[in-house]
Amino acid sequence: MPQLVTAPADMDERLLDDASAWHHALAANDADWDGYTVWLEADPRHRAAIDAIALIDRMVDDHRHHLQKILPDVAGDAVPARRPVRWWLAGPIAAAIAAAVVVTIAMRPTADVSYAASTQIRHIALKGGVAVDLAPGSEIVARGGDVSRLALTRGEAYFDVAHDSRRRLAIQAGGYSVRDVGTRFAIDLADGSVLIGVSDGNVSVDKSGTAAEIQVTAGEQFSAPANGGSGGRVARVAPDAIGSWRGGRLTYGNTSVLVVAADISRYVGKPIDVDPAISDRRFSGVLTIGDGSKLLPTLGQLMALSYTVDGDHVRLTASPAR
């Protein structure tokens, strides 16, 4: 039976207003991530508040169509197209939304639940202290609606998992399963590769169909063919480089240009085809995301590459010799 998630009792209205403001501000291209980090770390209640706001916002969005059909008309506006999240937390409409969402979920207990990000980072708060940031163009799926059985189907996601020795969180990514009880890590599915980097704690990585288990600890990144083929390796990486896209940067250390191009494609909105002649090149450096328009020119300058736009595709090749 689904449980109704409510804001913790020790949160006052001002705290929830602040959390709501940050939740919406972070969707902007010029979001103040440094300011958000300072606010988040200033009080343990801030993480709980932002998680509560994000969860309520997601519940309303995911079930908006159903809510519009069954909610009573309140002040002539049953389900506004967009209201500050704080509005959903009080009054009779909050109770109606809560009841409607519980009924909706209960009617479909075995359905997969998909969470996708289009052109902006999406922040998702799942039950049990699991927070997920989805990079643009990314998607995770809760198998059978169970948030302890997730699958990253495309793109990249950053997971912040509260420690709970009783929980067994499993995340499928290509031919691998990542298991965790409490840590911070990122998973990237890009151009046939899977990269699993840990910024805090450790995770276990299992290859599907085998008993092999790989431990990846803070400051390490596991990379392998996404289909679970041979060639997986663990390398050192700066912990603050993992999930750096959340702060407006793409950070790489000896990374295949194929992976870099796949990451950039999510921000330029077009697939990037890499010339096989340069597919073995590797890149180390930092790219500033901004609005995405300078990613390819910057990469071209740093790696002596050229790119051409052909309809809905981009072609990346070596720059002509001078």
Quick: pLDDT tens for 241-257: 999 999 999 999 889 99
Confidence of residue 267 (pLDDT cuts 50, 70, 90): very high
pLDDT of 158-212, one tens digit each?
999 988 877 788 999 998 999 987 899 999 998 788 999 999 999 999 887 666 7
pLDDT of 29-54, one tens digit each?
777 877 887 887 787 778 777 777 77
- Tokens 């289009």 — which residue? 118
Give the whole-angstrom CA distance, residue 292 versus residue 245: 12
Instruction: Look up the pTM and report it.
Output: 0.65
- Tokens 């793109």 — which residue? 155
pLDDT of 122-164, one tens digit each?
999 988 889 999 999 999 999 888 888 899 999 999 999 988 8
Nearest 5°: CA angle at 41, between 36 and 47?
Answer: 80
Spatial contact of 52 and 5, defined as CB atoms under 8 Å apart: yes
Spatial contact of 189 and 155, defined as CB atoms under 8 Å apart: yes
Q: What does the CA dihedral 239, 243, 246, 247 come to, rounded to 10 degrees? A: 30
